[in-house]
Amino acid sequence: MKFQIDKDVFQEALNQVQHVVSNRTTLPILSNVLIEADELGLQLSTTDLDVTITKRIPANISTPGSTTLPARRLASIVRELPTSEIDFEVNEDNAATVRSGPSFFKILGLPSSEFPTIGEFSNAKEFTIDQKLLGDALRKTSYAISTDETRYVLNGVNCLIGDGMLTLVATDGRRLAMVEQDLEFPAGNESGVIIPTKAVHELQRLLGDSGELKVSLTDSQAGFELNDSHLITKLIEGNYPNFRQVIPGDANHRVTVEREILLQAVKRVSLLVNEKTNSIRFTFDDNRLSISANSPEVGEAEESIDVRYDGPKLVVAFNPEFVMAPLRNLSQDEVFIDLIDESSPGVVKIDEPFLYVIMPMRVTN
């Protein structure tokens, strides 16, 4: 195999695929990137057996062929190369020589035949969707994914298609984020799948601000094709719980608040959060919201901001991290906080189909 490639193109492609490579793997081949050269150009693939990413890039192919090379190492070499043109040659023992200006590298690889093949898609439901729309929806929900591995069905984003709607949900049992997007799907595509965390993060990396992507779903796998990339992931098997059970009914009170201002205030006050309770107090009263933290060993912090609220005085305690997470990932200027009382869950909303349920902490003393 022999080819010539532009450094920046190669570097960017390696960056996009190398995150899949697992740090600690018992199979050495899984640390490697599969490089295949044919008359159309170069194709790079990485996999951890759950998530596989393939990326096509243009290259000047002299001799077609294939090999695998350590992904991380190759990426760091390419990043440091001095000139923009790279000459690549691999011999039959899978030893690659990389030449760039005065630099010369020899990297030992493994035969491409050892690289696992990705299962074929059959009877997949296929549809296309706007990249930006999916990217936004994932950003608004993915921070709420549970990291508790004992609850594996929650270790991903639940993705429901049906009733002219795309619904994305993530929860860890203490908060829940949901996006409901009106979307017309071809009939017969109704389905519900759980996309695992890693695939969600990789997909977010690939999604752009414009263009569409093609989604293919089977019972056990999902494929996402966009631009020159193709991401295939195993799905989490199991039933996602009926999350609607924890979405509270009608709220009694609505607070309107500027997102940035609230985020900054919570961030500051949370510097003095009590480590034991890990909660900060929100006091809503007559168009004012006062946020306070009190840690007996450290001290206290308080900040008050203007909001729109005309209900009775209400004191609720929340985990500050749980309040900040949606605020960081939304882009609207204004958010609404719907409250029932001190002990019922609060709901963060915006003027788009999104909601975020957050459980209040118990206020002692």
Partner 1 sequence: MHTPVPFPQDDESTKGFLKRLWKVVTKDLKDDLGTSTFDLWLSDFKLVALDQNEVVMRAPGSMYAIWVEENFKETILSHFQKHIADCKSIRFDVATAEQQAKKERKRAAKAKSEKEKSEQVTHLKPKVLVEVASDDKIRRRGLEAGLVETFSFDNFVPGENSELGWAAAKAVAAEPGKTYQPLFFHSPSGLGKTHLLHGIGWESLRLRPRSKVIFVTAEQFANDYIDAIQKNSLMSFRKKYREADLLLIDDVQFLGRKEGLQQEFFHTFNRLADLRKQIVLASDCPATEIVQLEERLVSRFQWGLTAEIHRPGLETRAAILRRKRDDWNMEVSDEMIDSIVERVSGNVRALEGALIRVAMVATMNEEELRPEEVPKVIADICNCEDGKNIGMGEIKKAVAEHYNVDVEILDGKKRTARVAEARQVAMFLIRTLTDFSLVEIAANFGKDHGTVIYAVRKVKKRCEDSPATKNAVELIKRKLARGGTQVESKKTFTRNARPRISSNPEGIDLEGE
Given the rule CB under 8 A, which residues bind partner 1?
151, 154, 171-174, 239, 241-246, 248, 275-276, 341, 343-344, 359, 362
**Shortest reach from residue 144's CB to partner 1, in Å:** 12
**Shortest reach from residue 240's CB to partner 1, in Å:** 9
**Shortest reach from residue 174's CB to partner 1, in Å:** 5
Rounded Cα–Cα distance for residues 67 and 10 (Å) = 16
**Shortest reach from residue 201's CB to partner 1, in Å:** 23
**Shortest reach from residue 347's CB to partner 1, in Å:** 14
Token duo for residue 296: 């007996």
Query: Between residues 191 and 344, which has the closer beta carbon with respect to partner 1?
Result: 344
Long-range contacts of 330-337 (CB under 8 A, 24+ apart): 330/140, 330/259, 330/354, 332/259, 333/258, 333/259, 333/260, 334/256, 334/257, 334/258, 334/259, 335/256, 335/257, 335/258, 335/259, 335/262, 336/254, 336/255, 336/256, 336/257, 337/254, 337/255, 337/257
Query: Between residues 305 and 359, which has the closer beta carbon with respect to partner 1?
Result: 359
Query: Between residues 98 and 293, which has the closer beta carbon with respect to partner 1?
Result: 293
Q: Are 131 and 210 in contact (CB under 8 A)?
A: yes
Query: Between residues 151 and 268, which has the closer beta carbon with respect to partner 1?
Result: 151
Query: Between residues 282 and 322, which has the closer beta carbon with respect to partner 1?
Result: 322
Query: Between residues 75 and 317, which has the closer beta carbon with respect to partner 1?
Result: 317
Residue 289 main-chain phi, psi, to 5 deg: -125, 120
Neighbouring-strand partners of residue 83: none
Query: Between residues 154 and 217, which has the closer beta carbon with respect to partner 1?
Result: 154
**Shortest reach from residue 275's CB to partner 1, in Å:** 6
Mapping DSSP onto H, E and C, the string for 45-69 reads EEECCCEEEEEEECCEEEECEEEEE
**Shortest reach from residue 69's CB to partner 1, in Å:** 43
Dihedral angle, C-alpha 310, 314, 318, 321, nearest 10 °: 30
